[in-house]
């Protein structure tokens, strides 16, 4: 539940109050972090090779990404990232998967969030350099 403290001035919100309400409720979707994991099932062969096909889709997308042991993290506009995930899932089927479980995590924030648990403003490391603006 989102609680916002707005002082009532003759029961008519001011323009500042309306902007506060809008920014506090509307996430910025042009720059989100999205992490996803594909778990393909194949009847024969190696499912790691199928996962590699999904990673190829991510690499070809041109968005900042980081591949780790359990998931791949992307940064960009939400709808574009979701399309990449759908394409990666299809790549699993194209590589022989008979079914695919796809887990997705999305981190978004509002304009009011200047420092969050998922910010890379705290410092550049070898692990996060691709997500930091130069």
Residue 6 in any domain: the answer is no
Residue 83 lies in a domain: yes
Alpha carbon 32 to its chain's center = 5
pLDDT surpassing 80 at residue 132: no
Residue 22 lies inside a defined structural domain of this protein: no
Give pLDDT tens digits for 45-86: 999 999 999 999 999 999 999 999 999 999 999 999 999 999
Domain assignment present for 2: no
Average pLDDT over residues 13-33: 69
The CATH number covering residue 102 comes to 3.30.70.930
Residue 111 lies in domain: 28-127
Per-residue pLDDT, 122: 52
pLDDT > 90? residue 30: no
Per-residue confidence band for 28, with pLDDT thresholds at 50, 70 and 90: confident
What are the CA-CA distances from residue 64 to residues 10, 85, 105, 118 (Å)?
Answer: 49, 14, 16, 15
> According to the model, what pLDDT value does residue 3 have?
42
pTM exceeds cut of 0.95:
no
Does any domain span residue 43? yes
**Averaged confidence pLDDT in the chain:** 81
Q: Looking at the 3D structure of the chain, how many domains does it have?
A: 1
Note whether residue 134 is domain-resident: no
In a domain, 21, yes or no: no
pLDDT band at 93 (very low <50, low <70, confident <90, very high): very high
Q: Residue 105 burial (CB < 10 Å; 0-12/13-18/19+)? A: exposed
């Amino acid at each position: 539940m989102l609680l916002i403290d707005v002082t009532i001035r003759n029961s008519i919100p001011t323009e500042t109050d309306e902007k506060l309400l809008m920014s506090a409720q509307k996430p910025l979707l042009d720059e989100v972090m999205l992490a996803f994991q594909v778990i393909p099932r194949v009847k024969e062969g190696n499912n790691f090779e199928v996962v590699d096909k999904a990673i190829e889709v991510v690499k070809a997308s041109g968005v900042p990404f980081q591949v780790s042991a359990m998931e791949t993290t992307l940064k960009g506009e939400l709808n574009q990232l979701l399309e990449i995930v759908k394409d990666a899932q299809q790549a699993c089927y194209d590589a022989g998967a008979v079914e695919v479980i796809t887990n997705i995590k999305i981190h978004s924030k509002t304009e009011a969030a200047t420092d969050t648990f998922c910010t890379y403003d705290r410092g550049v490391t070898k692990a996060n350099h691709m997500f930091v603006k130069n």
